[in-house]
Amino acid sequence: MATVLITGKTQLFTPGMLERMAAEHVVVVAGEDAAYRGKARNIHVYQATAMEESFGQLFDVYTFDAVWYVSGYADGGEGSFGEVQTLERALNQSASSRVGKFVLLSTVNTQNYFRRNSSLEDSTRRVYPDSGVFNAAQMEALGSFFAEKTGMKVITLWLPYVADLVNDGNFLGELFRKVARKEPIAFPHGPEDRLDILSAQDLLALLVQITGETEDDTGGYFALSGYAHTYGELEAALRDIDPQVQIRYEGRPDDIDMPAYPEPLRRRYGFVPVEDVLPALRDYYDRFVDQVYSRQEGFWRRVLKRLGSKAFKYFELIVFFLLTELIARFTSDSVYFRFVDVRLAYIVIMGTIHGMQMGILAAVLEAVVLVFQYIGMGISGTLLFYNIENWIPFVVYMMAGSIPGYVRDKNTEELNFNQKEYDLLRNKYMFLSNAYYGAIQNKGEFKRQILGFKDSFGKIFDAVQKLDNELPQSVFLEGLKVLEEILENRSVAIYTVDSWQRFGRLVACSGSLLSRLAVSLPLEDYGEMYEAVKNGRVWRNIELREDQPAYACAVFREGAVVMLVVLWEASNEQYGNHYTNIFQILCGLVQTSFLRAMEYEQLRHDQTTLPGTRAVNAQRFDQLVQVQEEMREAGAAEYTLLRFADRDPVRVSEQLTGMVRGSDTLGQGADGRMYLLLTQVNEANLGIVTRRLEDRGIAYERVEKVGA
């Protein structure tokens, strides 16, 4: 049996839904308009919002397995003032009380947007049709933020319209009320736009399944009925109820990419919607008219509802005063009422119920009546004032109003004092609880740090093993992986520097940078950075200059810079000396491995190249292509493969003299044909190379792999 808290727009859950839920679970409803008049034992209702202190006390009394928050925008609602802050308090309270799951019932309208490119090349922003949809989307973003920050599971359900057995305050209830009153109806979209109505029974079954699932994770889902309808079909169903109904369409844009069936919910939670609401709309309407619309609130009930709790006591004071005077007038000649003072009883009752202020006010009213009675008996004001015996009724009235009122106020103050004492003890308990859990988290964090420190030698050894490779290209790939893993940074780029020290050629980078970085890096545009690394220092962009990398370090060979390792972005926590030292150590490992691979390649130059050419043999060329393919799959680099019509290695090598970059490789494939491996070349910049080949009359074709 799970314990569930329902808060927010609690009107979405009707008494029938609550009773079906309470048959197997404990249901706590907390909201500004929370109400339930049934007799189900497992339903507890509190009129408290998340902004009130009493809401937090519910988490002390109950241990909630899940919290269901109903957005004010769900089921076609228009939201409420300050709802984002209310949701934030509910999320914060749930996270601090370690609630396992938070379900946010939102609206499908938050998915009604189109993307517009922003100023950044790789990002877009969502454009919503109105501010209400934007606010609802911000509530969902707040839930995602808390899920990432606290680790609490936050499940967002994008709800369409919801239909209960008896519809009142929901979307269908408003439609039915307008039909019954002969009022015009406005639909937000067009007659051909998608409409979905989910039954309350299916929604409740889904929520129970979500609450009981333990192997899920934070995410958002369309909670749909699985039956595709349109607003035009809804119009036809309403006209079947009343042919004279007036319907218009506002024609708002509908960009919701709504699936036909809630397949993700079926796979994750086993949710299978059953009921199709629209064909049974006439039955829903008849039930609404019989059980909701025909019942009209009485006059006095509406008056008392409008008065409010504070004004009600003054209303009660006047009404009972008039009633007391009426009773006193008609019972003045009765022998029984010579021993019972109705006015005195009225004063005592008001003081006992509402406190000393209302008791004294009631005594003043009766004192005024007594003054008029004295005047009616012929007693003048002078005689009334100077005759002390006439003061006795006034004194008794004041004492009767003040003493019970004082006792009542004293008890109220004691209750308030006890409440404050309870709040103080609760805050101390929450502080100790948070301190305890904080100590546990710190213990785990320290343990992780200690283990990480002890294992740092293993990490360095593992990095050395990965970088131990005979191919410089493999060193690029493995070096990129090592840097990303140990530095926890996904903005790494590795450049080779030409012999003139003018350009850096991109050979590998993190996947997020591949489409953003230029293939060539003009070093003169980064003079201060290059001057620092050329002198053997690590460049740190501590002044946060735009268009400058966060970190840079050079790899030297025979005193000249041959490679640059760059971190284009870094968080604020990654600008410390410890991080700088790790970066420098890893760059040193890359330098050692790269130089060793270069020396090994020079030693085997005669064994890996074809005689009389600059082309590598088939075995070495196959290794190079495999490395480039791994880099492409990892999103670290791109390459293009060209195959020449001429099969003679010597002729092809002579024809390409002066045309092949240092990062490109001419080689012989396993099929005996000659190939050119162009690194960091794609469809966009391939034309530069092909024009040179065509100008020299070299026949070629582009292929995907050797032998294709």
pLDDT of residue 562: 92
**One-letter identity of residue 618:** A
pLDDT of residue 427: 74
Q: What is the mean pLDDT of residues 581-592?
A: 90
What span, in angstroms and rounded, lies between the C-alpha atoms of 435 and 400? Answer: 52
Q: Is the pLDDT of residue 298 over 50?
A: no
Band (393; pLDDT cuts 50, 70, 90): confident
621, 675 contact by CB (below 8 A): yes
Closest CA to 172 of 277, 273, 328, 48: 277
674, 647 contact by CB (below 8 A): yes
- In this structure, what DSSP letter does residue 529 have? H
3-state secondary structure of 74: helix
Closest CA to 139 of 170, 163, 105, 112: 105
347, 359 contact by CB (below 8 A): yes
Written as one string, the DSSP assignment of 53-103 is HHHHHHHHH---SEEEEE-TTGGG----TTHHHHHHHHHHHHHHTT-SEEE
Q: Mention every residue, 6+ apart, whose C-beta is less than 8 A from residue 251.
A: 189, 190
Distance, CA of 244 to chain centre: 44
pLDDT of residue 308: 54
Domain with CATH 3.40.50.720 in the chain: 3-293
Hey, what are 616's tokens?
A: 């590598």
* Range in 465-474, 650-659, 693-702 the model is least confident about: 465-474
**One-letter identity of residue 203:** L
Q: 169 or 369: whose pLDDT is higher?
A: 369
Q: Is the pLDDT of residue 454 over 90?
A: no
- The 10s digit of each residue's pLDDT in 245-277 is 888 998 888 888 888 888 999 888 989 888 888
pLDDT of residue 335: 59
Band (631; pLDDT cuts 50, 70, 90): confident
Closest CA to 674 of 611, 624, 628, 617: 617
Give the right CATH number for 3-293 from 3.40.50.1860, 3.40.50.720, 2.120.10.70, 3.40.630.10. Answer: 3.40.50.720
Q: Is the pLDDT of residue 466 over 80?
A: no
Q: What is the mean pLDDT of residues 21-26?
A: 88
pLDDT of residue 120: 44
What span, in angstroms and rounded, lies between the C-alpha atoms of 92 and 83? Answer: 14
Band (455; pLDDT cuts 50, 70, 90): very low
Q: Is the pLDDT of residue 563 over 80?
A: yes
**CATH homologous superfamily for the domain 457-603:** GAF domain (3.30.450.40)
* Range in 49-58, 223-232, 292-301, 407-416 the model is least confident about: 292-301
pLDDT of residue 344: 84
pLDDT of residue 254: 84
* Range in 245-259, 426-440, 582-596 the model is least confident about: 426-440
26, 42 contact by CB (below 8 A): yes
- In this structure, what DSSP letter does residue 112 have? -
pLDDT of residue 119: 46
Q: Mention every residue, 6+ apart, whose C-beta is less than 8 A from residue 369.
A: 325, 343
pLDDT of residue 448: 59
Q: What is the mean pLDDT of residues 598-612?
A: 85
Band (549; pLDDT cuts 50, 70, 90): very high
Closest CA to 344 of 389, 410, 393: 393
Strand boundaries in 33-79, DSSP class E: 43-46, 66-70
H/E run at residue 483: helix 472-487
* Range in 180-194, 390-404, 517-531 the model is least confident about: 390-404
Band (94; pLDDT cuts 50, 70, 90): very high
Give the architecture-level CATH label for domain 608-703.
2-Layer Sandwich (3.30)
What span, in angstroms and rounded, lies between the C-alpha atoms of 136 and 614? Answer: 64
Q: 306 or 564: whose pLDDT is higher?
A: 564
pLDDT of residue 459: 65
What span, in angstroms and rounded, lies between the C-alpha atoms of 393 and 374? Answer: 11
Written as one string, the DSSP assignment of 218-279 is SEEEE---S--EEHHHHHHHHHHH-TT--EEE----------SS-HHHHHHH--------GG
CB 686: neighbour CB atoms within 10 A?
14
pLDDT of residue 68: 94
Q: Is the pLDDT of residue 325 over 60?
A: yes
Domain with CATH 3.30.450.40 in the chain: 457-603
What span, in angstroms and rounded, lies between the C-alpha atoms of 664 and 678? Answer: 5
Q: Cα separations (Å) of 328 from 324, 367, 378?
A: 6, 14, 20
pLDDT > 70: percent of the chain = 90
- The 10s digit of each residue's pLDDT in 124-154 is 577 888 888 888 999 999 999 999 998 899 9
Q: Is the pLDDT of residue 291 over 80?
A: no
Mean pLDDT of the chain: 84
**Strand 639-644 relative to strand 700-703: parallel, antiparallel, unpaired?**
antiparallel
User: CA geometry: angle at 437 spanning 434 and 440, to 5°?
Assistant: 150
Q: Is the pLDDT of residue 296 over 50?
A: no
Q: Is the pLDDT of residue 166 over 60?
A: yes
- In this structure, what DSSP letter does residue 11 have? G
pLDDT of residue 124: 55
